Amino acid sequence: MENQNNVTEFVFMGLWGNKQMELLFFFWFLLCYLAVLMGNFIILFTITCSHLIEQPMYYFLCHLSLMDLCYTSTVVPRLIRDLGAARKNISYNNCMTQLFAAHLLAGVEIFILVAMAFDRYVAIVKPLHYTVLMNRQRCNMLIFTAWAVGFWHSIALLLMVLNLPFCGPNQIDHYICDVKPLLKLVCRDIRVVSILVIANSGMVVVVIFLVLVASYILILYNLRTRSSAGRRKALSTCSSHVMVVVLFFVPCIYTYVLPAGNENKDKEISVFYTVIAPMLNPLIYTLRNTEMKTAMQKVWSKMAHSECK
Protein backbone atom coordinates (compact mmCIF):
# COMPACT_ATOMS: atom_id res chain seq x y z
CA MET A 1 0.00 0.00 0.00
CA GLU A 2 1.36 3.44 -0.97
CA ASN A 3 2.14 5.85 1.85
CA GLN A 4 -0.30 8.78 2.01
CA ASN A 5 0.43 11.96 3.91
CA ASN A 6 -2.60 14.22 4.32
CA VAL A 7 -1.05 16.28 7.12
CA THR A 8 0.51 19.65 6.24
CA GLU A 9 0.88 20.89 9.81
CA PHE A 10 0.89 19.59 13.37
CA VAL A 11 -0.59 21.12 16.52
CA PHE A 12 1.24 20.75 19.84
CA MET A 13 -0.88 19.89 22.86
CA GLY A 14 1.91 21.32 25.03
CA LEU A 15 2.94 20.46 28.57
CA TRP A 16 -0.27 21.57 30.32
CA GLY A 17 -3.83 22.23 29.23
CA ASN A 18 -4.32 24.90 31.93
CA LYS A 19 -3.93 28.42 30.43
CA GLN A 20 -2.96 30.01 33.77
CA MET A 21 -0.28 27.34 34.29
CA GLU A 22 1.02 27.97 30.77
CA LEU A 23 1.32 31.71 31.44
CA LEU A 24 3.24 31.03 34.65
CA PHE A 25 5.61 28.62 32.88
CA PHE A 26 6.01 31.08 30.00
CA PHE A 27 7.99 33.33 32.34
CA TRP A 28 9.76 30.39 34.00
CA PHE A 29 11.00 28.92 30.70
CA LEU A 30 11.97 32.40 29.50
CA LEU A 31 14.16 32.84 32.59
CA CYS A 32 15.59 29.34 32.09
CA TYR A 33 16.47 30.10 28.46
CA LEU A 34 18.15 33.38 29.42
CA ALA A 35 20.13 31.46 32.08
CA VAL A 36 21.19 28.89 29.43
CA LEU A 37 22.34 31.66 27.07
CA MET A 38 24.19 33.62 29.75
CA GLY A 39 25.80 30.62 31.50
CA ASN A 40 27.04 28.89 28.36
CA PHE A 41 28.15 32.16 26.78
CA ILE A 42 30.26 32.90 29.88
CA ILE A 43 31.91 29.45 29.63
CA LEU A 44 32.57 29.88 25.88
CA PHE A 45 33.97 33.37 26.36
CA THR A 46 36.11 32.43 29.37
CA ILE A 47 37.67 29.37 27.72
CA THR A 48 38.30 30.92 24.29
CA CYS A 49 39.83 34.06 25.81
CA SER A 50 42.15 32.25 28.24
CA HIS A 51 44.87 29.61 28.29
CA LEU A 52 42.24 26.98 29.13
CA ILE A 53 41.45 26.49 25.43
CA GLU A 54 44.83 24.73 25.13
CA GLN A 55 43.75 22.00 27.55
CA PRO A 56 41.72 19.12 26.03
CA MET A 57 39.22 19.02 28.92
CA TYR A 58 38.25 22.68 28.46
CA TYR A 59 38.41 22.39 24.67
CA PHE A 60 35.70 19.71 24.90
CA LEU A 61 33.80 21.75 27.50
CA CYS A 62 33.78 24.67 25.05
CA HIS A 63 32.17 22.44 22.40
CA LEU A 64 29.72 21.06 24.98
CA SER A 65 28.58 24.58 25.88
CA LEU A 66 28.15 25.39 22.19
CA MET A 67 25.99 22.27 21.76
CA ASP A 68 23.91 23.21 24.82
CA LEU A 69 23.30 26.66 23.32
CA CYS A 70 22.34 25.30 19.90
CA TYR A 71 20.30 22.35 21.17
CA THR A 72 18.26 24.45 23.59
CA SER A 73 17.69 27.07 20.86
CA THR A 74 16.05 24.46 18.62
CA VAL A 75 13.46 23.67 21.30
CA VAL A 76 12.92 26.37 23.96
CA PRO A 77 12.17 29.50 21.85
CA ARG A 78 9.27 27.70 20.13
CA LEU A 79 8.11 26.30 23.49
CA ILE A 80 8.09 29.83 24.95
CA ARG A 81 6.19 31.14 21.92
CA ASP A 82 3.64 28.32 22.12
CA LEU A 83 3.04 28.90 25.85
CA GLY A 84 1.85 32.40 25.01
CA ALA A 85 0.01 31.49 21.80
CA ALA A 86 -3.63 30.51 21.34
CA ARG A 87 -2.77 27.88 18.72
CA LYS A 88 0.45 25.86 18.94
CA ASN A 89 0.89 24.87 15.31
CA ILE A 90 3.99 23.91 13.29
CA SER A 91 4.24 23.07 9.59
CA TYR A 92 5.17 19.54 8.52
CA ASN A 93 8.49 20.71 7.03
CA ASN A 94 9.42 22.75 10.13
CA CYS A 95 8.51 19.76 12.31
CA MET A 96 10.87 17.50 10.34
CA THR A 97 13.59 20.19 10.51
CA GLN A 98 13.24 20.44 14.30
CA LEU A 99 13.33 16.64 14.61
CA PHE A 100 16.54 16.44 12.57
CA ALA A 101 18.28 19.40 14.25
CA ALA A 102 17.41 18.32 17.82
CA HIS A 103 18.64 14.75 17.32
CA LEU A 104 21.77 15.91 15.45
CA LEU A 105 22.80 18.30 18.25
CA ALA A 106 21.84 15.86 21.03
CA GLY A 107 23.83 13.11 19.29
CA VAL A 108 26.89 15.36 19.02
CA GLU A 109 26.53 16.33 22.69
CA ILE A 110 26.38 12.68 23.78
CA PHE A 111 29.62 11.85 21.98
CA ILE A 112 31.32 14.99 23.29
CA LEU A 113 30.51 13.67 26.78
CA VAL A 114 32.16 10.38 25.72
CA ALA A 115 35.23 12.32 24.54
CA MET A 116 35.37 14.15 27.88
CA ALA A 117 35.22 10.84 29.75
CA PHE A 118 38.01 9.47 27.54
CA ASP A 119 40.09 12.57 28.30
CA ARG A 120 39.68 12.08 32.07
CA TYR A 121 40.44 8.35 31.75
CA VAL A 122 43.73 9.03 29.93
CA ALA A 123 44.67 11.88 32.31
CA ILE A 124 44.21 9.71 35.42
CA VAL A 125 45.01 6.16 34.24
CA LYS A 126 47.81 7.00 31.75
CA PRO A 127 49.17 10.38 32.89
CA LEU A 128 52.64 9.87 31.33
CA HIS A 129 51.08 9.38 27.88
CA TYR A 130 48.46 12.13 28.24
CA THR A 131 50.11 14.85 26.10
CA VAL A 132 50.77 12.35 23.30
CA LEU A 133 47.35 10.66 23.34
CA MET A 134 45.33 13.86 23.79
CA ASN A 135 47.06 16.20 21.35
CA ARG A 136 44.99 18.79 19.44
CA GLN A 137 44.80 16.60 16.34
CA ARG A 138 43.27 13.76 18.39
CA CYS A 139 40.83 16.19 20.03
CA ASN A 140 39.72 17.53 16.63
CA MET A 141 39.27 13.97 15.38
CA LEU A 142 37.01 13.17 18.38
CA ILE A 143 34.90 16.28 17.70
CA PHE A 144 34.63 15.38 14.00
CA THR A 145 33.60 11.83 14.96
CA ALA A 146 30.93 13.22 17.29
CA TRP A 147 29.45 15.26 14.43
CA ALA A 148 29.64 12.32 12.00
CA VAL A 149 27.90 9.91 14.42
CA GLY A 150 25.33 12.56 15.39
CA PHE A 151 24.52 13.16 11.72
CA TRP A 152 24.19 9.43 11.02
CA HIS A 153 21.84 9.01 13.98
CA SER A 154 19.61 11.99 13.08
CA ILE A 155 19.43 11.30 9.33
CA ALA A 156 18.46 7.67 10.02
CA LEU A 157 15.58 8.83 12.26
CA LEU A 158 14.51 11.51 9.80
CA LEU A 159 14.38 9.13 6.83
CA MET A 160 12.42 6.66 8.96
CA VAL A 161 9.80 9.31 9.87
CA LEU A 162 9.60 10.76 6.33
CA ASN A 163 8.52 7.32 5.06
CA LEU A 164 5.61 7.11 7.53
CA PRO A 165 2.04 8.04 6.51
CA PHE A 166 0.26 10.73 8.56
CA CYS A 167 -3.44 10.74 7.69
CA GLY A 168 -4.75 12.59 10.73
CA PRO A 169 -5.30 13.48 13.53
CA ASN A 170 -2.43 15.97 13.67
CA GLN A 171 -2.27 16.79 17.41
CA ILE A 172 1.16 16.00 18.93
CA ASP A 173 0.99 15.23 22.66
CA HIS A 174 4.26 17.05 23.29
CA TYR A 175 5.91 20.47 23.00
CA ILE A 176 8.51 19.43 20.39
CA CYS A 177 8.55 17.33 17.23
CA ASP A 178 10.11 14.13 18.49
CA VAL A 179 9.96 10.66 16.99
CA LYS A 180 7.92 8.93 19.72
CA PRO A 181 4.96 11.36 19.85
CA LEU A 182 4.95 11.41 16.03
CA LEU A 183 4.68 7.60 15.95
CA LYS A 184 1.34 7.84 17.78
CA LEU A 185 -0.10 9.72 14.77
CA VAL A 186 1.01 7.24 12.10
CA CYS A 187 -1.89 5.51 10.32
CA ARG A 188 -0.34 2.06 10.04
CA ASP A 189 1.14 -0.58 12.32
CA ILE A 190 4.22 0.88 14.04
CA ARG A 191 5.58 -2.15 15.92
CA VAL A 192 8.56 -2.62 13.59
CA VAL A 193 9.30 1.13 13.47
CA SER A 194 9.10 1.34 17.29
CA ILE A 195 11.72 -1.42 17.58
CA LEU A 196 13.97 0.44 15.10
CA VAL A 197 13.58 3.67 17.08
CA ILE A 198 14.45 1.91 20.34
CA ALA A 199 17.49 0.34 18.64
CA ASN A 200 18.60 3.65 17.07
CA SER A 201 18.09 5.83 20.14
CA GLY A 202 17.25 3.89 23.29
CA MET A 203 19.75 1.05 23.17
CA VAL A 204 22.54 3.33 21.90
CA VAL A 205 21.99 5.70 24.84
CA VAL A 206 21.98 2.77 27.30
CA VAL A 207 25.21 1.30 25.88
CA ILE A 208 27.00 4.67 25.92
CA PHE A 209 25.81 5.33 29.49
CA LEU A 210 27.13 1.93 30.63
CA VAL A 211 30.46 2.63 28.89
CA LEU A 212 30.70 5.97 30.71
CA VAL A 213 29.85 4.32 34.05
CA ALA A 214 32.51 1.64 33.42
CA SER A 215 35.12 4.29 32.57
CA TYR A 216 34.49 6.12 35.85
CA ILE A 217 34.64 2.89 37.84
CA LEU A 218 38.08 2.30 36.31
CA ILE A 219 39.08 5.88 37.13
CA LEU A 220 38.00 5.44 40.78
CA TYR A 221 39.88 2.14 40.94
CA ASN A 222 43.09 3.81 39.70
CA LEU A 223 42.71 6.75 42.09
CA ARG A 224 43.30 4.52 45.11
CA THR A 225 47.08 4.74 44.55
CA ARG A 226 47.11 8.56 44.36
CA SER A 227 47.88 11.01 47.13
CA SER A 228 44.92 12.51 49.00
CA ALA A 229 45.45 15.89 47.27
CA GLY A 230 45.59 14.23 43.84
CA ARG A 231 42.47 12.21 44.60
CA ARG A 232 40.53 15.31 45.68
CA LYS A 233 41.44 17.23 42.52
CA ALA A 234 40.60 14.28 40.21
CA LEU A 235 37.35 13.53 42.04
CA SER A 236 36.28 17.18 41.87
CA THR A 237 36.72 17.21 38.09
CA CYS A 238 35.17 13.79 37.53
CA SER A 239 32.21 14.37 39.85
CA SER A 240 31.19 17.42 37.79
CA HIS A 241 31.23 15.32 34.64
CA VAL A 242 29.31 12.48 36.30
CA MET A 243 26.58 14.93 37.41
CA VAL A 244 26.21 16.24 33.83
CA VAL A 245 26.12 12.69 32.42
CA VAL A 246 23.41 11.59 34.88
CA LEU A 247 21.30 14.72 34.27
CA PHE A 248 21.37 14.13 30.52
CA PHE A 249 21.38 10.34 30.14
CA VAL A 250 18.88 9.14 32.76
CA PRO A 251 15.91 11.13 31.31
CA CYS A 252 17.01 10.13 27.76
CA ILE A 253 17.06 6.45 28.72
CA TYR A 254 13.55 6.71 30.18
CA THR A 255 12.26 8.51 27.06
CA TYR A 256 13.78 6.36 24.32
CA VAL A 257 13.98 2.87 25.81
CA LEU A 258 10.25 2.57 26.54
CA PRO A 259 7.96 2.02 23.52
CA ALA A 260 5.52 4.74 22.47
CA GLY A 261 2.47 4.72 24.75
CA ASN A 262 -0.09 7.10 26.24
CA GLU A 263 0.90 6.24 29.80
CA ASN A 264 4.50 7.45 29.39
CA LYS A 265 5.56 10.78 30.93
CA ASP A 266 7.92 11.54 28.03
CA LYS A 267 7.11 15.23 27.60
CA GLU A 268 7.51 15.98 31.32
CA ILE A 269 10.76 14.00 31.58
CA SER A 270 12.17 15.57 28.39
CA VAL A 271 12.22 18.98 30.14
CA PHE A 272 15.28 17.69 32.04
CA TYR A 273 17.49 17.20 28.98
CA THR A 274 16.07 20.04 26.86
CA VAL A 275 16.04 22.79 29.53
CA ILE A 276 17.28 21.79 33.00
CA ALA A 277 20.57 20.08 32.05
CA PRO A 278 21.77 22.85 29.65
CA MET A 279 20.91 25.41 32.34
CA LEU A 280 22.74 23.59 35.16
CA ASN A 281 25.82 22.50 33.17
CA PRO A 282 27.57 25.92 33.39
CA LEU A 283 26.93 26.05 37.16
CA ILE A 284 28.23 22.50 37.66
CA TYR A 285 31.42 23.16 35.69
CA THR A 286 32.16 26.58 37.21
CA LEU A 287 31.11 26.41 40.86
CA ARG A 288 32.98 23.12 41.39
CA ASN A 289 36.05 24.08 39.34
CA THR A 290 38.69 26.34 40.85
CA GLU A 291 40.61 26.62 37.56
CA MET A 292 37.51 27.87 35.73
CA LYS A 293 36.70 30.39 38.46
CA THR A 294 40.28 31.73 38.40
CA ALA A 295 40.22 32.00 34.58
CA MET A 296 36.86 33.82 34.73
CA GLN A 297 38.23 36.37 37.18
CA LYS A 298 41.30 37.00 34.99
CA VAL A 299 39.33 37.28 31.75
CA TRP A 300 36.65 39.58 33.14
CA SER A 301 39.18 41.76 34.97
CA LYS A 302 41.13 42.05 31.71
CA MET A 303 37.90 42.97 29.90
CA ALA A 304 37.40 45.82 32.36
CA HIS A 305 40.57 47.43 30.96
CA SER A 306 40.74 46.30 27.35
CA GLU A 307 38.98 44.09 24.77
CA CYS A 308 39.78 40.35 24.51
CA LYS A 309 42.25 39.95 21.66
Q: What is the pLDDT of residues 45-89, one digit of tens each?
A: 999 988 889 999 999 999 999 999 999 999 999 999 988 887 889
pTM (2 d.p.): 0.89
What is the longest distance spanned by two Cα atoms in the chain?
70
Burial 26-64, CB ≥16 within 10 A → b, else e:
beebbebbebbbebbebbbbbbebbebeebbbbbbbbbb
Residue 86 CB: number of other CB atoms within 10 A? 7
Phi, psi of 156 (to 5 degrees): -65, -45
Would you say 204 and 43 are in contact if contact means Cβ atoms under 8 Å apart?
no
Q: In what order do the strands lie in the sheet with 9-12?
A: 89-91, 9-12, 171-172
Q: What element of type H or E holds 10?
A: strand 9-12
116-135 tens-digit pLDDT: 999 988 988 888 889 899 99
Give per-residue pLDDT as tens, 255-309: 888 776 656 678 888 999 999 999 998 888 887 777 888 888 888 777 766 654 5
